[in-house]
Structure 1
Amino acid sequence: MSYINNPFFSTDSNNITKINAQQNSISTLGVKVPSPNFCPFENIPSNFRYVSESYDYENLGPTSYRFEVTYQCQGCYKYVAVGYISNMDSGSVIDYDFNFTNNKIKFPFNEDVENNFPDFKIIYTQAQKAEKYGLNEIAGPGYRKAFENLIKEYLIKFCDKKEESIQKRSLSDCASDLGDETINKIAKVAIWVGNDQTHYDSNQNPNLDLNDLKNGINFTVNYLISEIEKKKLLQAYDDKKKD
């Protein structure tokens, strides 16, 4: 048997676990199933300890049913669940498509953004995760919140705006203080989309979507980082002239 679509099996497993699977409410069978032999989290062969099997079996016919078994990797100690199809006294692994290499969310901005706006990174990354798993009704408000955090933190940290005042102002109003007419407009378009994504029964911009919101954030981030670097260099120039 091939386990090509199951990341917990690198080759045919010679390890066998005997499961006392409950076929129905009164009948129990001793089912022999192959055990995992590869840990995709560590990307190495590994031994797995049997923990438990499910008791919620899905009957697929008079002699066939599905169940899950939980194992623990003895290398990294993470728990995994493997699905099986049983045919009386033996069980075969259910193949499935799951690419572990794509699980990690990559923050699309550089270290300058991470260092200057750590809360923005946290919120933005959570929105990315929601989008990745198809939770677009959550992703949109998440990106909008990240954008608000970014703009207001920038104005407080780098434009000497008072935090108490910034907290009370609307995001659109704050965007007007970014200092560049073009980026002000781009930021406001992103805010419009974010508001549509967030507020009840709001769709004032039907031609704009989540990608436009993210593009607006991207343009604004690049502008803010360039402004921060520009101010840093100008300050270095002024300090040098004083010497």
Structure 2
Amino acid sequence: MAENNEIKVKSLQKALEILNLFTEKPVLGVTEVSEYLGIYKSTVHNILSTLKAMEYLEQDEETGKYRLGIQVFNLSKALGDTYSITKIAGPYMQELSNHTGERCYLAVPYRQEVLYLDAMYPADSIELMRSILGERAQMHCTGLGKAMLANMGEREISDYLEHHELEAFTENSITDKEKFKEELVRTKQRGYAIDDMEHEFGIKCIAMPVFDRTKNVYAAISISGLAQHFTDENIAEWAILLKKYIRKIESRL
């Protein structure tokens, strides 16, 4: 368990630690939670029962195991609503997705990670659409992360590199810190970031930062899809289009 002098209510800490476990494993039973956290089964049972009564968890009648409930979704939606950019950017992202035929993602920097807020799919897409709100990814291997980091200050970039090992997700991931610095320079000069199958093999994207009225990085938007769709011609065309829509969004922030 994490020790923090600001934690005053230990029982609440236990409840939230239990709830956090469901971000790592979607279905859990009393025994599993007890073993993971080293908490008595009776305590775990009481906490799970309370979270179930408050609709933060649901219980499978056959197995007796628990999964996240509707109130967690409501909290996630409320989180998204606190970022006014989601409402502003949504219609523009949908237009961009329809025009390019690719998915569009919106994210903000959060604790030196990429925090996804929204995703738009082409109107004629047959893909199964899913909520991406609250998902996180590392900055160094995503277009969104590189777009945001490249436009931050030198101190923020140095701090990121000091505290992060550049993990390899594919053979294209940049894991050398000097090479990554060079990539950030190229990204800023070019005006957009490219994820060249660095996070997921077969998927490419281009991304640009969204600046607030003080010219600080506020968010980023990407166009993402199958690598074969990202020809030099398409990338050049989509970068112009992405910049056009981002300027519209920035004017309303």
TM-score normalized by structure 2? 0.25
Q: For the pair shown, which has the larger CA radius of gyration, 1 or 2? A: 1
Q: Higher RCO, 1 or 2 (CA under 8 Å, sep at least 6)?
A: 2
TM norm structure 1: 0.26
